[in-house]
Amino acid sequence: MMMINATQVSYFTLGAYFDTELFKYLFFMIIAHFYILTLCANVLLIVIICMNRSLHEPMYIFLCSLFVNELYGSTGLFPMLLVQILSDIHTVSVPLCFLQIFCVYSYVSVEFTNLAAMSYDRYLAICYPLQYNAYMTSSKIAMLIAVIWLPPFLAVFVTTSLSASLQLCGNIISKVYCDNYSVIKLACFDTRINNVYELTAASLTICVPVSVIFYTYLKILKVCFSGSQQTRQKAISTCTPHLASLLNFSFGVSFEVLQNRFDMSSVPNMLRIFLSLYFLTCQPLFNPLMYGLNMSKILIICKSVLLSSLGKC
């Protein structure tokens, strides 16, 4: 087999695409509408939270951060996906491929850290309601927002830089988007440094936030079982969308990890593609719908905005 050095690889071929000549415009329209709906839903809730002083509370600030991340993650995927659907040659330049890898991986890391910050906020609100304002100060909120965004971006930047420096013996990625693990598998030489660092980074940016979520919910459940009916209702109303979001995202990411590590050739190709895209497509739309419909303050303001818009029309 001909050896291909990193300097000779100018593009990657996305090998998971198949001939959809008769349906590619239909697929393009469906995905484009899905992307527009995702953008509109997240932007609407970001604007509502920013413009209404009654929503300038820690819980809604973390929600706003979550919606910003949904915009970031979906924009890292959809534009390139739409271009590839219409293209006959499914190639992507090396810099653009690594840019997408950076966007996708940082989106995943920020999502987990954001959900962890939200669970910590709910833990304080439910377990220490009288001391909540003393604990959740403006400086602590700013610190948590920095923790949500900065460490994941730094960790993923190092991951992407290590992968970009590899010498490659091929340029075919068996996905519909650029994936770091797929690039590492193309390396000509030993990739132990990449694997060890990626495992360490994943432990810090995913396992630590999940551990925080698990711990805080154990404490919340303990308070719920020993507290009043009002406390239980408050916990259920605020924690249900958060748990649903966590489970939905964890399902999508877990399947992607399994698909990378194990042979999934027995799974139909269309199903593999759908499940590999699930955490990047469904989560950005799932979150605004889930929180918009389940949080009374946001729902009331959304209804008033829509009714006033219809009244003007």
What would the pLDDT profile of 123-152 be if each residue is shown by its tens digit?
A: 998 888 889 999 999 999 999 999 999 999
User: 4-13, 64-73, 116-125, 263-272: lowest mean pLDDT where?
Assistant: 4-13
Note the pLDDT tens digit of each residue in 275-302: 888 989 999 999 998 887 777 777 777 7
pLDDT, tens digit, for every residue of 221-257? 888 777 677 767 777 777 888 888 999 999 888 888 8
Which secondary-structure segment (H or E) carries 248?
helix 229-261
Q: Is 27 exposed, middle or buried (0-12, 13-18, 19+ CB in 10 A)?
A: middle
Q: Is 59:122 a contact under the CB 8 Å cutoff?
A: yes
Q: What is the pLDDT of residue 301?
A: 75
Which residue, 176, 201, 171, is CA-closest to 256?
176
The confidence band for 29, taking pLDDT boundaries of 50, 70 and 90, is: very high
CB atoms within 10 A of CB 256: 21
Mean pLDDT of 69-86: 93
The answer to whether 233 and 274 have CB atoms below 8 angstroms apart is no
Q: Please tell me whether residue 115 adopts helix, strand or coil conformation.
A: helix
Mean pLDDT of 85-102: 91
Chain segment 179-220, per-residue pLDDT in tens: 998 898 888 887 888 888 888 888 888 889 999 999 998 888
Question: Of residues 305 and 218, which shows the higher confidence score?
Answer: 218
Q: Which contiguous run of DSSP H or E holds residue 91?
A: strand 91-93
Query: Under CATH, which number does the domain 6-312 receive?
Result: 1.20.1070.10
Q: In what order do the strands lie in the sheet with 11-14?
A: 91-93, 11-14, 172-173
The least confident of 85-94, 107-116, 134-143, 218-227 is: 218-227
pTM: 0.90
Task: Give me the half-sphere count of Cα atoms (radius 13 Å) on the Cβ side of residue 236.
Answer: 9
The answer to whether 12 touches 91, Cβ cutoff 8 Å, is yes
